[in-house]
Amino acid sequence: MQISGKEQPVRILLAQPRGFCAGVVRAISIVERALEIYGAPVYVRHEIVHNRFVVDGLKRKGAVFVDELDEIADPSRPVIFSAHGVPKSVPQAADARGMMWIDATCPLVSKVHSEAIRHHEAGRHVLLIGHAGHPEVIGTMGQLPEGAITLIETLEDARTVQPPDPENLAYITQTTLSVFDTQAIVEELKRRFPAIREPVKDDICYATTNRQQVVREMAPQCDVVLVVGAPNSSNSRRLVEVAKSSGCEKAFLVQSAEDVSWQDIRPGMTVGLTAGASAPEVLVEGVIEAFRTRFDTIVELLALKEEHVSFKLPRALRKAAGEKGAAS
């Protein structure tokens, strides 16, 4: 029921940029285009991106999600690797089984893979700043032989790590980390190991950085901050952390409007609203609509910068699409 009268409206500060990044758009497009070209089913190893709404939508179109290649019922069908990247052993296993595979790894994650390989070939031990168990970290560590990469999760790890050769050392990072937390770790590594090689360009991706910056700007103005995203989405969880560390202790991760704790919202409040890089805009719109059914609501855009990044689909998929178009 719409509440009106003398009550003050809820003011929503809507972050810009928010939501889908170029890597996520590319990954989803790869699955959709593969379904158009090859028909259903198309298999996808792991969630293509960390969002249940997106995954369920692709399932309805004919995508079948599996944890491992040996779960694929028909190995003659295409299999797509997720945007987070995979260890080298996965495409090797697919080749051994004669599978046709398509790599949807975000190009910015592929850049980190290339860095790891380059440093290893140059004889350097690699320190990877990231979170244990995250698919991106598993994929990156799987680019090199076991023992060639040491995972650094915390500032304490940076203070205590004992690499095999401190004079031949490089660091790389997961792309979805907190910019500011990572900087503290990097500074400690540089202090301890002055000769350490660093990325030519930051590994933390533009989308992660931009979304964190606008939340850092937004949080001090807000009574509550809502981040639309999945619980297993690293970049979404980091946005909650950034909001809390920037002055808004009441920051929450919500998958959709159904997850909003309405008891925390009162007329007259300012509510910050953003979305992780794998959360579709329709979920943000659903949250705004839910506010409008409960409160007088004013929506103001807090725009930090515009994004114009895009990535091409894999060459093999573009070629297959062209061949299909020519035949039809």
**Catalytic site residues?**
136
Rounded CA-CA distance 25/227 in Å is 19
Strands (E), 38-131: 42-45, 63-66, 79-81, 101-103, 125-129
Decide the pairing of beta strands 101-103 and 125-129. unpaired
* Dist. CA 142–CA 4, nearest whole Å: 57
In the chain, what are the helix, strand and coil shares in percent, each to the nearest 5?
45, 20, 40
Torsion region of 62: left, alpha or beta (phi above 0 gives left; psi -120 to 50 gives alpha): left
Check the CA dihedral 92-93-97-101 and report its sign: negative
Angstrom distances, CA of residue 321 to CA of 30, 103, 318: 11, 16, 5
Tell me if residue 156 falls in helix, strand or coil: helix
* DSSP label at residue 27: H
